[in-house]
């Protein structure tokens, strides 16, 4: 059977440039049936039919002279979402498949105050997510994390020589063999929530790096719901169908 590189087939099928087709695959929005196409240069049969997920737009939750709060959709990087505010500078980041509250400073003075607040753990951060398995009681996960960076990618793991990381979780809904959690983090280590939940045997649904994938789930089911700092309180509603995607 004749085969060709996935990005080239997608480019022809969708009428795109090769570079745009490769970008869509790398972003994680291209599927064949229910299976995500993970490698742009991987070879597939020439009659392969692709399905491309729709990219949602960035919503501005709030903006004034010193700060902007965005609702970042899944599949956009924080840097891409930040382009919505040309004069803004990112105060933190969300993983590509994590949606929700993303903050940008619009003045150097606010950036300095916000950075100090993050360092002092004076920022209240709430997430919501769906995990594999049943979590019946609230708990605190206090496990140090070490982050390794290689070839432009980061990976974190529990390590007693790592940096302090504290995550509080509370179950809010159980569906089948899955639990929806409310998560509050005191620290902001790389992939903290994802690694901590994996470490207790309840990885986030759709997390290809640390967790489990699902035919019903197109994305990692982690959403930054709320952030409070310096007298502000920003909230981003869960994406439409967030609970439905979790399946049963």
Q: Mind telling me the catalytic residues?
A: 95
* Contact yes or no for 22/39 (Cβ under 8 A): no
Distance, in Å, from the CA atom of 69 to the CA atom of 224, rounded to the nearest integer, reads: 12
Distance, in Å, from the CA atom of 108 to the CA atom of 111, rounded to the nearest integer, reads: 5
Structure tokens at 215: 């035919």
Distance, in Å, from the CA atom of 159 to the CA atom of 195, rounded to the nearest integer, reads: 11
* Contact yes or no for 179/171 (Cβ under 8 A): yes
CA max distance for the chain: 62
Structure tokens at 230: 């310096």
Three-state secondary-structure class, residue 110: helix
Q: Where are the alpha helices (DSSP H) in the chain?
A: 6-14, 18-27, 78-82, 108-119, 192-199, 242-245
Integer angstrom CA distances of residue 128 from 14, 30, 38, 116, 124: 35, 25, 26, 25, 14
């Amino acid at each position: 059977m004749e085969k060709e590189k996935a990005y080239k087939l997608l480019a022809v099928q969708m009428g795109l440039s090769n570079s745009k087709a490769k970008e869509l695959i790398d972003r994680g929005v291209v599927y064949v049936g229910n299976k995500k196409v993970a490698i742009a240069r991987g070879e597939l049969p020439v009659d392969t039919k692709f399905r491309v997920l729709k990219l949602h737009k960035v919503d501005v939750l709030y903006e004034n002279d010193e700060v902007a709060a965005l609702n970042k959709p899944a599949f956009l990087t924080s840097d891409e979402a930040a382009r919505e505010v040309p004069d803004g500078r990112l105060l933190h980041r969300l993983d590509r498949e994590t949606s929700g509250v993303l903050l940008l400073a619009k003045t150097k003075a606010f950036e300095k105050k916000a950075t100090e607040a993050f360092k002092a753990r004076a920022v209240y951060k709430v997430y919501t997510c769906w995990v594999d398995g049943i979590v019946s009681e609230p708990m605190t996960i206090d496990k140090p994390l070490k982050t390794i960076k290689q070839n432009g990618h980061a990976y974190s793991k529990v390590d007693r020589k790592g940096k302090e990381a504290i995550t509080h979780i509370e179950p809010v809904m159980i569906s089948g063999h899955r639990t929806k959690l409310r998560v509050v983090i005191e620290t902001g280590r790389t992939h903290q929530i994802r690694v901590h939940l994996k470490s207790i045997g309840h990885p986030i649904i759709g997390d290809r790096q640390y967790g489990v994938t699902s035919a019903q789930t197109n994305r990692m089911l982690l959403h930054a719901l709320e952030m409070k700092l310096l007298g502000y309180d920003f909230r981003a509603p869960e994406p439409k169908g967030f609970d439905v995607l979790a399946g049963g």
